[in-house]
Amino acid sequence: MGSISIWHWLIVALIVALVFGTKKLRTVGGDLGFAVRGFKDGLQSEPGSPTDATASSVVSIEQQHTRAEEVAKVASSPVPNDH
């Protein structure tokens, strides 16, 4: 009575499947796998170096800032009078 047999585990698995449903359990398993994969990728990247997504967004922000400065220069330049 003190040890847990395979039959006990099967009954527990059946009750969990009935309570949560198989579709819900599949999505939880997929989400857990995605989280573990993301954690492993985070550990493999070098600390202090930005990831590819972060680097591309930083470049994009820098490009936008440069473009905004160019537009501000053009906007502040005097408009010639043709009178």
Mean pLDDT is lowest, of 18-27, 29-38, 56-65, for 56-65
Model confidence pTM above 0.75: no
What is the mean pLDDT of the segment spanning 5-26? 86
Rounded to a whole number, what is the largest CA-CA distance in the chain? 104
Q: Angle, to 10 degrees, between the axis of helix 22-44 and the axis of helix 6-20? A: 100
Q: Between residues 57 and 65, which one has the greater pLDDT? A: 65
Q: Where are the alpha helices (DSSP H) in 1-83?
A: 6-20, 22-44, 52-76
